[in-house]
Amino acid sequence: MLDIATAYNKYKFLGNDYLTWIWFLIETDYNISSLLNSKEIVTLEVGNSIVLENKLGDKSKEKITIKGDQAGLEEGTTALKKGAWVTQINLICKINEDEFKFTIKGESLNITGLKPPKTKLSKKEDEIEGLVLEKSFFCFQIFEVIDTLFLKYLEQRISDDWNSKGLQDIKNWIGSF
Amino acid sequence: MGLISSTHSISRYHIDGKIEGSIIEIVKTGLMKYSIPKLESEYDEISAGWTPVESPYTPDFEKFSFQFGTYFLFSLRIDKKSIPVKLIQKYMVLEIEKKKEKLGRDFISKNEKLEIKEMVIDILMHKIPAIPNIYDILWNYEENNIYLYTTQKAANEFFETLFLKSFKLKPIRLFPYTIIETKSKFLNPQKDRVLTLAPLKYSRKSYA
């Protein structure tokens, strides 16, 4: 394995490219459940924010933040056309009836502000173990979706028809705005 | 923002290796050995250690559980003393006036000022209580995964150091590269292809 700090910086683009792909999947109504080979019904929606970055001519970077529950994403798609990439996105993931809201960062795939489904269990002494197990399960569930999709994305990126199909589909999507 | 709160921020780790021997006993011993001291040291600027989730201010692993189903759950508590700048400024002014009076001068040198500053910080550091921050750790031992309920860099670093000391296991932070290395089923040629990929460009030029 590479040195951790070097590997983090060298391959953080894979996380950012992955988030752009997720946005593409959402906007083109891709069937996430079949992509995951999941028996559960898994859907994704863009939540209330997207952050993109673009390299300017010199060493500086441009950061484009779109926030708000009803925010239009046109500025984001325009930024993609100009060569930007997604660095952070707020997502709503539904697994059957359960809803998860969270923000995911491309470079680390860490999640912040995760709101898992509500639970009926309380912090009372006789319910604490059940509460911990239920909350743990939610945590495992959402990371399972994130990791599985990430690895599916990489499978596509290294497939022989990526340039003619996968990448072209994303370019067509971006070009459609 | 711990596991049982309504909102979470989470960073993840893969654990390299397994415990040899009685897992629960070894985990308990590590937690107890490196638990946060019950009594706050008045000299330490920062102290960190494990504590039970159900009892963050009385780190008693005999009384409170760290095992929930097949998972381990405990907290990392980091106590940090932080002196507000304005407080340092206030005591600096007071001490400088005292010193001038004592020396019978209406000025003091740069070095004397520095000495006073060090003394003021030292005195305040002893007096001021440490502020505790608590971060939950969910350890899915069977799957070699750890979920640390924070994304703060300083807390991640404390966790990594303390975990290695406590259990002699190295936590590897999960991010795109390490997810590929630890979670993918890619064969070596596929992995090599992934690792030679370059960032995608979707810019207008590419449509031509």
Average the pLDDT over A144-155 and give the result. 97
CA B36 – CA B57 distance, rounded (Å): 9
What is the pLDDT, as a whole number, of residue B208?
33
What is the pLDDT, as a whole number, of residue B85?
94
Every domain of chain A and the residues it spans: 12-175
> The tokens 């399972």 sit on which residue?
A144
Average the pLDDT over A32-41 and give the result. 94
What is the pLDDT, as a whole number, of residue A73?
78
Q: How many residues does chain A have?
A: 177
CA B67 – CA B24 distance, rounded (Å): 8
- Count CB neighbours of A91 within 10 A: 24
In tens, the pLDDT along B83-127 reads 999 999 999 999 999 999 998 988 889 999 999 999 999 999 888
Encode B176-195: b = buried (16+ Cβ within 10 Å), e = exposed. Answer: bbbbbbbbbebeeebbeebb
- How far is the alpha carbon of A70 from chain B, nearest alpha carbon, in Å? 22
Query: Do B179 and A150 count as a contact with CB atoms less than 8 A apart?
Result: yes
Question: Quick one: CA dihedral A85, A87, A89, A94, positive or negative?
Answer: positive
Token reading at B90:
């206030």
Average the pLDDT over B52-71 and give the result. 94
Q: Tell me the angle at which helices B153-167 and B23-33 cross, rounded to the nearest 10 degrees.
A: 120
Closest among B3, B32, B10 to B147, alpha carbons compared? B10
Judge whether residue B145 has pLDDT over 80: yes
Encode B47-82: b = buried (16+ Cβ within 10 Å), e = exposed. Answer: bbbbbbbbebeebebeeebbbbeebbbbbbbbbebe
In tens, the pLDDT along A97-136 reads 999 999 999 999 999 999 999 887 776 767 788 999 999 9
What is the pLDDT, as a whole number, of residue B203?
66
| Res. A76 pLDDT band, cuts 50 70 90 | confident
Chain B residues inside the 8 Å CB shell of A134? none
CA angle, A34 as apex, A32 and A36 as ends, to 5°? 70
Average the pLDDT over A32-43 and give the result. 94
CA angle, B163 as apex, B158 and B169 as ends, to 5°? 140
Average per-residue pLDDT in chain A? 91
Intra-chain end-to-end CA distance of chain B, in Å: 49
| Res. B1 pLDDT band, cuts 50 70 90 | low
Better-predicted residue by pLDDT, B11 or A58? B11
Q: Does A56 touch chain B (CB under 8 A)?
A: no
Average per-residue pLDDT in chain B? 92
In tens, the pLDDT along B171-180 reads 999 999 999 9
- Complex ipTM, two decimals? 0.92
The winner for highest mean pLDDT among B4-8, B42-46, B182-186 is B182-186
Query: Do A151 and B183 count as a contact with CB atoms less than 8 A apart?
Result: yes
Token reading at B10:
């989470």
Average the pLDDT over A148-173 and give the result. 94
Q: Nearest-CA residue of chain B relative to A147? A: B179
Query: Do B138 and A17 count as a contact with CB atoms less than 8 A apart?
Result: no
Q: Which of residues 82-111 of A touch B (CB under 8 A)?
A: 82-83, 85, 107-111
What is the pLDDT, as a whole number, of residue B207?
41
Q: Which of residues 25-54 of A touch B (CB under 8 A)?
A: none
Non-local (6+) Cβ contacts of B71 within 8 A are A132, A133, A136, B138, B139, B140, B141
- Residue B10 has its nearest CB partner, among A80, A111, A133, at A111
Judge whether residue B206 has pLDDT over 50: no
Closest among B121, B165, B179, B149 to B6, alpha carbons compared? B149
Chain B residues inside the 8 Å CB shell of A171? 202, 206-207
CA A48 – CA B53 distance, rounded (Å): 32
Helix (H) or strand (E) holding A174: helix A167-175
- Residue B207 has its nearest CB partner, among A157, A158, A171, at A171
**For an interface test with B, which of A9, A139, A141, A152 has the most B Cβ atoms less than 10 Å from its Cβ?**
A139
Query: Do B175 and A167 count as a contact with CB atoms less than 8 A apart?
Result: no
